[in-house]
Structure 1
Amino acid sequence: MAIEVFNRHEGKFLLNKNKYEKIQYMLLEYMEIDEHNKNDEFYTISNIYYDTKDNHLIRTSLLGPRYKEKLRLRAYGVPSENEKVYMEIKKKVSGLVNKRRTTLKLQEAYEFASTGIKPEYKKYMNKQVLNEIEYFLKIYDLEPKLYLAYDRKALFGKENRDLRITFDKNIRTRRYDLKLENGDYGEALLGSDDILMEVKAEKNIPLWLSKMLSRENIFKRSFSKYGSEYKRLLEKERKEKGELNLCLNQYLMQYQTQAQLVHQYQ
């Protein structure tokens, strides 16, 4: 049975193709390839991200709060309408990532997201996560906002299975035709030579990995696939330089003012 609850720290690194080929070869001394990569070097993951009409979730996330959350629908490859997918809530609290997901059939997931009504329970579902998603859908008026797919290679630690490193390339997105079954096409988010590496660990990363990254001049950086796409969207909509920061700062002021008013009347 697939793991449906994750608690871990994540670090992100942007690599070029040459750096990727070197580091992934070095990692194989300590790690092994994920079963999804046994037949193909990369496998495809496709997602639908949900947000409010005014993009509250991603706009709040870009402000860098201690707590942020998102809801997405995830599939491996391009699913059929009756195929099983994952609906998941991803939260980040002071750097610790918590991901909770349940298996659903694709049409069950679409109906759940659009109506907020839980599907009739079946053995492949996670009851607790269904309840959490139901509550999430009650407090936010969500709609599908973004399709995002990428090709992934994943490695697991030979001795520590909690250590996972993934490489994502060919990240592509679209804000139309928001159906997983309609194909994994979209506009490229990064350059063709760019690969996103993510290091995921329940606790601290091992010393050997820290030394390897330092030796190869690979340094951690902040990067969000959904956030990067949204900032690109804003940039396209703004004609004058600097309006992106102005927009986010105005949203921050509005968000803080609302929070102050709530606190005032408590």
Structure 2
Amino acid sequence: MEFRHEYKYYINYGDYIVLRQRLRAVLQSDPHADENGEYHIRSLYFDNYSDKALREKLDGVNIREKFRIRYYNHDLNVILLEKKSKINGLCNKQSVNITKEQAQKIIHGEIEWMGKSKEHLLVELYAKMCYEQLRPKVIVDYTREPFIFPAGNVRITLDRDIRTGLSDVDALNPDVITIPAGDAKILLEVKYDAFLPTVVRDILQLNDRRANAFSKYASCRMYG
């Protein structure tokens, strides 16, 4: 597996406006973004009855993972099952496409078919739903502005309007009720491979900010 550096920073609205202008001037917008340079993300995160993933995140455990179902811009034609792993600060993401019908079955606990899948990620989630009691836990919605820079395979995102589905896990329902996740600030995420180019570092002024352990999942779990 390939691992990448990933850092997260709280920023206020003033920082957001300044950073967005700088990023637009130097970096490319992600080709999947709309005419406004953004897209909507809905994720459904999994955890077990003892909230293992949440507790490991809050405790800063060095080796941890979480599963989620994710889709973009309310488009149910492309749905992803993802596993995100973190080891000593480095991150890896694995994903596989699933159908709307498959996603609905997983949400409803109809999982026997997953054990026979040729996709190892589906088999792994099946095993953990059986033996670790992993279950859908919370919907996380937000708007993302993504930027890319070829050198270093840099990806920078600005996430805002973070919302939670409370205890409702019907993530494929377009009418599911969501509410703002408390006072969640705008989140700046910086991801890169071996190095972060100086031009990007200067734009971000990383020395003026401290990376933090903010988690959209943990923030939304406060409400469900």
Structure-2 residue corresponding to 1:145: 137
Question: How far 1:155 moved relative to its partner?
Answer: 0.5
Question: How far 1:152 moved relative to its partner?
Answer: 0.6
Structure-2 residue corresponding to 1:21: 17
Question: How far 1:99 moved relative to its partner?
Answer: 0.9
5+ unaligned residues in a row in structure 2: which ranges? none
Question: Which residue identity does 2:179 align to in structure 1?
Answer: E
Query: In the aligned structure 1, how far is the partner of 2:44 from the partner of 2:157?
Result: 20
Structure-2 residue corresponding to 1:132: 124
Question: Which residue identity does 2:140 align to in structure 1?
Answer: L
| Cα shift readout 1:67-121 (whole Å, capped 9, x = no counterpart) | 11111110113244xx330011111110111111100012212324624434576
1:181 equivalenced with 2:172 (yes/no):
yes
Structure-1 residue corresponding to 2:156: 165
Higher relative contact order (CA 8 A, sep 6+): 2
1:37 equivalenced with 2:28 (yes/no):
no
Is the CA contact (8 Å cut-off) linking 2:140 and 2:220 kept in structure 1? no
Query: In the aligned structure 2, how far is the partner of 1:160 from the partner of 1:138?
Result: 42
Give the TM-score of the pair, scaled to structure 2.
0.86
1:102 equivalenced with 2:96 (yes/no):
yes
Give the TM-score of the pair, scaled to structure 1.
0.73
Is the CA contact (8 Å cut-off) linking 2:41 and 2:70 kept in structure 1? yes
Alignment of 1:237-252 (within 5 A): none
Of all paired residues, the percent bearing the same amino acid is 26
Question: How far 1:167 moved relative to its partner?
Answer: 0.7
Which has the higher Rg, Structure 1 or Structure 2? Answer: 1
5+ unaligned residues in a row in structure 1: which ranges? 235-266
Aligned residues: 221
Closer, same or farther in 2 for the Cα pair 1:154/1:130, shift >3 Å?
same
| Cα shift readout 1:136-191 (whole Å, capped 9, x = no counterpart) | 3344212211011000110010x327210011110000223311222364121254
Query: In the aligned structure 2, how far is the partner of 1:215 from the partner of 1:93?
Result: 22
Is the CA contact (8 Å cut-off) linking 2:164 and 2:223 kept in structure 1? no
Aligned residues: CA RMSD: 2.6
More helix by share: 1
Question: How far 1:229 moved relative to its partner?
Answer: 2.8
Question: Which residue identity does 2:163 align to in structure 1?
Answer: R
